[in-house]
Structure 1
Amino acid sequence: MADSSSTAINIPESKSTKSKVGHVAYAATTKAMARKGGWKRGVAIFDFILRICALVAALAATTTMGTTDQTLPFFTQFFQFQASYDDLPAFTFFVVANAIASGYLVLSLPFSIVGIVRPHAAGIKLMLLIFDILLVAFTSAAAAAAAAIVYLAHNGNSKTNWFAICQQFNDFCQRISGAVVASFIAAFIFIFLVMLSAVALRKH
């Protein structure tokens, strides 16, 4: 008597079917990695552009403050009225800090280029992030200290006998004010670089 139950027949999967499935999976993975790498490469390019902008701002602050010197036209044989950036320690610290920031930005450009070529390299981004955080504190402190002196130069302080010298040394005050603005721009760009690097590292 014949068995009425149905018999399941296993059909082995052909090699061509396995190959096709593997190829589709590999193509999907490659496409996803390319899309992710393209996003990280775009962030790295933006990072490089921001570093050039910060370099221009820091160099402008350094050269402007470092070449600020004004002598009033009226002086006698014994007295000469002159204002120079190195008369005040805060301005000297400002020049040194922005010069260090400029040097660091120049050295960081090759690493930023490596980040464009290899967008998945997390070690380079982490190194730049650490140094960027240090430079945020450094440039912010220098700009804040110089800004306090610029404020006193413009407005004075009668309680401490600080006289507003900008009415006499107008060119001097304009140059130091411009240098402080440039330094704050560099500091804000450093802050943005830190945020950008943190986002890129979080997406790894």
Structure 2
Amino acid sequence: MKTGEATVIDVPEGSRATKGKAPILMVPKQEKGGMKRGLAIIDLVLRIGAIVAALAAAATMGTSDQNLPFFTQFFQFEASYDDMPSFQFFLIAMSMVAGYLVLSLPFSIVAIVRPHAGGLRLLLLIMDLVALTLATSAAAAATAIVYLAHNGNSSSNWLAICNQFGDFCQKH
């Protein structure tokens, strides 16, 4: 540099208003819908877990049976889920809940892609409540029968069958 030459620094015009005002903490801009997208991902994972649980419950109920031979091979007592309407209701209801959850997976994926879709979330919430009510009523009906199978009811002269059908009762 020679003596007498000036150095020129370009300063943008808008920076004079903020002269001497530096931000204390730099907070990065959040992605639009980040929290809602995270909740939608959790919703998808929970749906997949619920599908596995509903199918496992239905499969366990559908495969539970036991033969109890008496005297001869031709005279047998059999205990199976389809002998009791409450167990049939449980199997059908859990299958319906699993089917609904499988059908709701695409809607859950759309909720991840479009996190601000409020109508879709409301639809899923209402349908989830219906599925929850169905699963709870089926579980309550099956639990009542399982209780009678284990303990019986002396007022109604219903005997506990789990003394004879131990393997069948262990699955419920």
Q: TM-score range by the shorter chain?
A: 0.7 to 0.9
* Residues 48, 86 of structure 1: alpha-carbon distance in 2 compared, 3 angstrom cutoff: same
- Extract unaligned runs of 5+ from structure 2: 1-12, 19-27
Residue type matched to 1:172 in 2?
A: F
1:167 aligns to what SS in structure 2?
coil
Say yes or no: does 1:60 pair with 2:56: yes
Higher relative contact order (CA 8 A, sep 6+): 1
Please say if residues 156 and 163 of structure 1, whose CA atoms lie closer than 8 Å, have aligned partners that are also in contact.
yes
Identify the match of residue 128 of structure 2 among 125, 132, 155: 132
Please say if residues 36 and 116 of structure 2, whose CA atoms lie closer than 8 Å, have aligned partners that are also in contact.
yes
Kindly report which structure 2 residues correspond to 1:1-204, keeping only aligned pairs within 5 A, or say none. Answer: 17=14, 31=29, 34=31, 37-76=33-72, 79-175=75-171, 177=172
Please say if residues 54 and 105 of structure 1, whose CA atoms lie closer than 8 Å, have aligned partners that are also in contact.
yes
* Residues 163, 38 of structure 1: alpha-carbon distance in 2 compared, 3 angstrom cutoff: same
CA RMSD in angstroms, aligned pairs only: 2.3
Structure that is richer in helix per residue: 1
Q: Structure 2: how far apart are the matches of 1:132 and 1:66? A: 24
**1:83-108 superposed Cα distances (whole Å, 9 cap, x missing partner):** 01111111111111000000000011
Amino-acid identity (%)? 65
* Residues 42, 75 of structure 1: alpha-carbon distance in 2 compared, 3 angstrom cutoff: farther
Residue type matched to 2:107 in 1?
A: F
Please say if residues 69 and 75 of structure 2, whose CA atoms lie closer than 8 Å, have aligned partners that are also in contact.
no
1:119 aligns to what SS in structure 2?
coil
1:75 to partner: Cα distance: 4.4
1:31 to partner: Cα distance: 2.8
Tell me the residue number matched to 2:24.
none
Please say if residues 41 and 116 of structure 1, whose CA atoms lie closer than 8 Å, have aligned partners that are also in contact.
yes
**1:78-130 superposed Cα distances (whole Å, 9 cap, x missing partner):** 63111011111111111110000000000111111111111111121111011
TM-score by length of 2: 0.80
2:89 aligns to what SS in structure 1?
helix
1:70 to partner: Cα distance: 0.7
* Residues 122, 170 of structure 1: alpha-carbon distance in 2 compared, 3 angstrom cutoff: same
Please say if residues 75 and 81 of structure 1, whose CA atoms lie closer than 8 Å, have aligned partners that are also in contact.
no
Q: Which of 1 and 2 has greater Rg?
A: 2
1:74 to partner: Cα distance: 3.4
Q: Structure 2: how far apart are the matches of 1:49 and 1:74? A: 49
